[in-house]
Structure 1
Amino acid sequence: MSIGNGAGPRSADSVDVIVVGGGNAGFTAAHAAAERGRRVVLLEKGEKEMAGGNSFYTAGATRIVHNGLDDLQGLVEPDERHSCTVVPPYSAEEYASDLEKVTEGRNDPALTEVLIAESQSTLRWLNGLGLKYRLMYERQAYERADGSYLFWGGLHVGNVGGGEGLIEDHTRVAAELGIDVRYGHAAQSLIVENGRVAGVVVNTAEGELPLRAESVILTAGGFESDPQWRREHLGEGWENAKVRGTPYNTGDMIAAALEIGATKGGDWGTCHSVQWDAFTATNESNRELTNRLTRQSYPLGIIVNTDGKRFLDEGADFRNYTYAKYGKEILKQPGSVAYQIFDATLRPMLRSEEYDMPGISVEVADTIEDLAAKIGLDPENLAKIVTDFNNSIDRSIPFDPTVKDGRMAATEPVKSNWAAPIETGPFYAYGVTCGITFTFGGIKSDTHGRVLNADGKHIEGLFVAGEMLGGLFSVNYPGGTGLAAGCVFGRRAGVLA
């Protein structure tokens, strides 16, 4: 027998399936295994008040294939707005195209095919267990002049109560299924016997002990919460990124899997990162504000760095297809800080859950020059940047945030869509930095979550799902795909374990 890198065991315990990690993927895997009559223990590194992994910090958005609002009936909660709502269908072909586009073709084709094919059916299965879903009006739709709503960007469905509601639902279902959820249990290493994974060594308040099982499913997240791992794999400067979610995703179980022969999967050099409130004092792992610290209405305005220069195309695509890569661009800027700038006309269109949050970092002034002074920029320079931007807008094209309207600002860099003049006071500046969500590099598996070794063979008894599963994402990420993948591949792992 070998026990990873753990010390000597004190006592033994045995079940059928161990799930390591108490986020969306872990709970989904546990539900699937428990439905088959398996005795399941779910190990959560955090105590109960800190549980839920990264999933707790999300908005709950989940990208699935569907044929429009009629096709979503029975899955999403009733809402009086449905009668005046347009939800465009989102086809399997669009899903595949979006993944290929944003990952620059580096997404694993087999994993992608399974994710897309089972996205809606998996959510309906979870809904049948008791998870609740809704249309995400406040994040993915704009109200039109006639009072109707139009959804956009392929991402329409989310959990009732966001990430907090997601984990609350999962926890309730786990209790109903008889799953043994153990908080404050940090898995340290894997037990291997006769070439097969036979359990984990767990660190608890009572000390270190082994827990044995027929199968172990790893859903313990990436390595984004460890500054040294970030610097080593993502590059210099990444140690300064703000951790959006759980502080517990430090790569421990990735290291444990690699130690027993698992193969790396996915892109270890890139990650999901966003524009994040730069100056709120508690802007890391904040369980009260969670996702509200993101600043995702940037396609409507302009972004400047501390030199007062624009440096990216704010309107390159819908937010869902650019937000997960633009945090990296902020990190590259002087001081890793930039400012989103809007005027009084645009301000009412910003997401209220993010831009009206308590203690938000914002400066307001009646003129651009006064705004520049408040945020430490050269007033004349910022005024010129804004004037040149305004003068370059093709105003013959109507402004329409529900479609890629082609309303361009022919500046350097260009703004491809949604170019609206910044001209009506008061003016607003929101300081943003880089918030890291999760890393794209993880462990390689087949489409059922069975972990593979260097020869492409299954490591018996070991499965992986969630953010630990490498191969789906690289460079960028279509919004809502992470929770969808956690559901689909968590369920697949749990069905076999």
Structure 2
Amino acid sequence: MPKSVIVVGTGNAALCAAIAALEKGAQVLLLEKADEALAGGNTKYTAGAMRFAYQGKEDLMPLLRDPEDPRLDVTDFGSYTVEKFSEDLLGFNDGRPLSAEQQSLVTTSGETMKWLATHDVTFEPIYSRQSFEKDGRHVFWGGLTLAARNEGVGLFDMELAAVRRLGGKVRFDSAVTGLLREGDRVTGVKVGEEEIRADAVILASGGFEASEDLRVRHMGPNWKAAKVRGTPHNTGDGLTLAIEAGAEAYGLYSSGHATPMDLHMADFGNLDLPPGERKNYRKICYFLGVMVNAEGNRFVDEGANFRNYTYAQYGAAILDQPGQFAWQVFDSKVFDLLYAEYRFDDAHFVEADTLEDLATQMTGVDGAGALATLQSYNAAVDETRPFDPTRLDGKGTLPSPCPNRIGPRRSTPRPSAPIR
């Protein structure tokens, strides 16, 4: 008789777990807290992009939705080796060595992508966000190359379709409220008063970022102000149930994925927006300009690395600033490089023809301090080498590398706030 498996949640991790169990012949039931429209956890709010190790273009071709795309002939994907992936991940560990889980993530990342492709979960190059045109070719940068079409929603749709093709069942509006146990063994779950038995239970119900109380408890008082870009349903239910059942708390609860966002966005995500607009409250082109806080001071090295390696930390840096906000300032020379969200009809910004005028319009900012910061920045930038957005070029205000000079021409700051 086939084994029965309950998977709690319907995000990327839950759907992958369900596919793997179904491959082994199990009967799988997924239980989702949200209704069908909001199912998918935070996966639907992502870019649907996967970081994985690959040697070159030949490793990417089997993963592509459209391997006949004519742009492929003039595209330089480079490589992203296991060694480079490990080095990048180690840079986020605050001096700790890679854990066993991190090592497994890196070494099996490529084969995992190939496995997904066998279930018709395919991808396309992220031309709009991860490449620049140079000498007539598309040059990718930062190690992040492929994403699902229609971003996280597309990834969810493809994985859910794979689950259903394999015979998996999904129940929406079915929040798991308890675990059934016999001694030390979990034997099922409770959904309200209903008891559902299974041979195995997989808790893949996300984190606690939508719980203000848990954010403050685990991450500190600053995180009370963070807005949630994703689902309002990730309130730590699975973690709470597991710990109540005797599981050991594991991981770094005090860290998070915190992205600079428009200060005036809604408190939760925006799945009501059309495809392609769902990420328009995100403001991650800071590496093309300067961020200043309420005192008019820079507080991070905007060009310390490619945006891929810094954006998830710089939201937290904004939370640490006075008033928990910042302004992003851009010169007209980079307007054509800014992502579409900076031109979104709900984006909040001001414009001026001079830095002096600009400084007076930046609400909540010490204008004199901001003007002094920008003028000092401009005076310190080495302009002897051309700006090249496809590589770390070492240009900057000594001693911190910064990617471009903010000139006295038309400049546009955009307000940004952190989100988790």
Q: Shorter chain as normaliser: what TM range?
A: over 0.9
**Distance (Å, rounded) in 2 between the aligned partners of 1:186 and 1:63:** 31
Cα 1:32/1:87, change in 2 over 3 Å: same
**Distance (Å, rounded) in 2 between the aligned partners of 1:163 and 1:269:** 25
The 5-angstrom pairing of residues 355-374 of structure 1 reads 355-374=342-361
1:370–1:379 CA contact under 8 A, matched in 2:
no
2:28–2:169 CA contact under 8 A, matched in 1:
yes
Q: Secondary structure at the match of 2:217?
A: helix
Counterpart residue identity of residue 30, structure 2: L
2:3–2:25 CA contact under 8 A, matched in 1:
no
Q: Does 1:175 align with 2:164?
A: yes
**Distance (Å, rounded) in 2 between the aligned partners of 1:284 and 1:138:** 25
Q: Please identify runs of 4+ aligned residues in structure 1 that moved more than 6 A.
A: none
The 5-angstrom pairing of residues 301-340 of structure 1 reads 301-340=289-328
Counterpart residue identity of residue 243, structure 1: V
**Distance (Å, rounded) in 1 between the aligned partners of 2:331 and 2:103:** 43
Q: Does 1:227 align with 2:212?
A: yes
Which of 78, 81, 98 is the equivalent residue of 1:91?
Answer: 81
Higher relative contact order (CA 8 A, sep 6+): 1
What is the TM-score with the length of structure 1 in the denominator?
A: 0.80
The 5-angstrom pairing of residues 55-66 of structure 1 reads 55-66=43-54
1:369–1:382 CA contact under 8 A, matched in 2:
no
How far residue 378 of structure 1 moved from its aligned partner, in angstroms, is 4.1
Kindly, what percent of the aligned residue pairs are identical? 39
Structure 2: which 5+ residue stretches go unaligned? none
1:47 paired residue number: 35
How far residue 382 of structure 1 moved from its aligned partner, in angstroms, is 2.4
Q: Secondary structure at the match of 1:187?
A: coil
Which of 209, 228, 235 is the equivalent residue of 1:243?
Answer: 228
**Distance (Å, rounded) in 2 between the aligned partners of 1:366 and 1:398:** 24
Which of 92, 110, 121 is the equivalent residue of 2:100?
Answer: 110
Counterpart residue identity of residue 18, structure 1: I
2:144 paired residue number: 155
1:482 paired residue number: none
How far residue 351 of structure 1 moved from its aligned partner, in angstroms, is 1.4
Which of 412, 415, 418 is the equivalent residue of 1:431?
Answer: 415
Q: Does 1:393 align with 2:393?
A: no
Cα distance per residue 1:312-344 (max 9 Å; x no partner): 110111111111111111001121110110011
Cα distance per residue 1:119-170 (max 9 Å; x no partner): 11111111111112011111111111x2211111111111111001111112
2:249 paired residue number: 264
Structure 1: which 5+ residue stretches go unaligned? 1-13, 437-497
Counterpart residue identity of residue 284, structure 1: F
2:294–2:366 CA contact under 8 A, matched in 1:
no
Q: Secondary structure at the match of 1:102?
A: coil
Point out the structure with the larger strand share. 1
Cα 1:332/1:177, change in 2 over 3 Å: same
Cα 1:230/1:283, change in 2 over 3 Å: closer
Cα 1:209/1:15, change in 2 over 3 Å: farther
How far residue 108 of structure 1 moved from its aligned partner, in angstroms, is 4.5
**Distance (Å, rounded) in 1 between the aligned partners of 2:267 and 2:125:** 28
Aligned-pair Cα RMSD in Å:
1.6
**Distance (Å, rounded) in 1 between the aligned partners of 2:361 and 2:99:** 49
How far residue 43 of structure 1 moved from its aligned partner, in angstroms, is 0.8
1:131 paired residue number: 121
How far residue 252 of structure 1 moved from its aligned partner, in angstroms, is 1.2
Matched residue pairs, number?
412
